[in-house]
Structure 1
Amino acid sequence: MSSSDEIIDIVDEHDQVVRQASRGEAYAKGLRHRCVFILARDADDRIFVHRRTATKTVFPSRYDMFVGGVVGAGESYDEAALREAEEELGVSGLPRPVPVFTFLYETGDGLSWWSRVYEVRCVLPVSPQVEEIEWHAFLTDAELDRRLAEDAGDGGRPWTPDGLAAYERLRAARASDA
């Protein structure tokens, strides 16, 4: 079964399930669904950063500081977060990712998804899923912030816009907690 055939929950503006559809139909018709974003840190507190493969349906060949993906039909956010983190990092036995917040991401061109952001510590050696990730590295917060600032200009690395939105909200939440 291809990822476009995967059945997912379609939700309303309050994140309540209203029906199910294939992932392909959800993207083609702009149906609101659910996604998880997991910020993975290694034992040295560095963030897993990667470049998505060119074959990805959404935001191909873009850089991201989150692993994650679409929540399957009948699956909870928490279940999806653990599944996606283990799949994309190529590990098993991760601790359960810790939820941080939920927000509605809207693209501006009619697409939107409810997004739950998590954090997880991955002390295991990673072996990223080659179908999803073509490059990866662990970066310190300062290294990631420097790259994001450098890439804001013309010719910089293209980052996933939903990942950037989630990361900006995460940084703001950390700043308000400090």
Structure 2
Amino acid sequence: MVQALEWLDLVDENDQVVGQITRDDAWAQRRAVRMVNAFLVNRRGELWIPRRTASKRMFPNCLNMSVGGHVERGETYLSAFKRETHEELNLNVDALDWRKIAAFSPFETGLSSFMRVYEIRTDAAHDFNSADFSEAWWLTPAELLDWIEAGEPAKGDLAELVRRCFP
């Protein structure tokens, strides 16, 4: 099966659009693009952490943020957050208790891209998309970092985002 090209906005060091680039080329060339990530957080302060499926091209079988994805060409951070939350967790952001908790630049942080990070407050377990995730746990930030430190495979920016957003 041939995958369709995923087009992203290419941005400069000020997060201003300067062109377009495919997702594959952006990663291969380590070019600045935009991403959104979100964490489901329950009243005990635990994060809902899923494992990516084995079929994922990048970071297969790795622990992941609750929600994450690229901001597509012409899309805003907020619309990408809404789209990704619906695609991955079948949740409507407009009906949720959420807030933006961080904005990062790869030029200032060493993270992989420009990012907006959101927090969704919920105690409910969610019906995740089985094409994206295979299993999930509620973990405290410290437990998650301990798992990663002990060798549990995780998506590249996960530990750093948890350290920065949930100290």
Normalised TM-score (structure 2)? 0.83
| Amino acid across the alignment from 1:170 | C
Paired residues of 1:40 and 1:119 also in contact (CA < 8 A): yes
| Amino acid across the alignment from 2:103 | T
Paired residues of 2:49 and 2:137 also in contact (CA < 8 A): yes
- From the superposition, tell whether residues 160 and 32 of structure 1 become closer, same or farther in structure 2 (CA, over 3 Å): same
C-alpha RMSD over aligned residues = 2.8
- From the superposition, tell whether residues 91 and 105 of structure 1 become closer, same or farther in structure 2 (CA, over 3 Å): same
Whether 1:168 and 2:152 are equivalent positions in the alignment is: no
| Amino acid across the alignment from 2:166 | R
- From the superposition, tell whether residues 158 and 29 of structure 1 become closer, same or farther in structure 2 (CA, over 3 Å): same
Which is further off, 163-172 or 92-101?
92-101
Which is further off, 59-68 or 12-21?
59-68
Which is further off, 56-65 or 28-37?
56-65
Q: CA deviation digits over 1:11-58, x for unaligned, max 9?
A: 111111111122122223222100111011246654211111122233
Q: CA deviation at 1:85?
A: 1.6
Q: Which structure 1 residue ranges, 4+ long, deviate > 6 Å from structure 2?
A: none
Which secondary structure state, in structure 1, belongs to the residue aligned with residue 80 of structure 2? helix
Unaligned runs of 5+ in 1: 173-178
Aligned to 2:113: 113
Which secondary structure state, in structure 1, belongs to the residue aligned with residue 105 of structure 2? strand
Paired residues of 1:66 and 1:163 also in contact (CA < 8 A): no
Aligned to 1:148: 145
Question: C-alpha distance in 2, partners of 1:2/1:38?
Answer: 29
Seq. identity, %: 32
Aligned length: 165
Which secondary structure state, in structure 2, belongs to the residue aligned with residue 112 of structure 1? coil
Q: CA deviation digits over 1:149-176, x for unaligned, max 9?
A: 24413xx31122211111111124xxxx
- From the superposition, tell whether residues 89 and 36 of structure 1 become closer, same or farther in structure 2 (CA, over 3 Å): same
Question: C-alpha distance in 1, partners of 2:28/2:148?
Answer: 30
Paired residues of 1:82 and 1:96 also in contact (CA < 8 A): no
Question: C-alpha distance in 2, partners of 1:2/1:132?
Answer: 18
- From the superposition, tell whether residues 86 and 29 of structure 1 become closer, same or farther in structure 2 (CA, over 3 Å): same
Normalised TM-score (structure 1)? 0.78
Whether 1:52 and 2:52 are equivalent positions in the alignment is: yes
Unaligned runs of 5+ in 2: none
Whether 1:28 and 2:28 are equivalent positions in the alignment is: yes
Q: CA deviation at 1:104?
A: 2.5
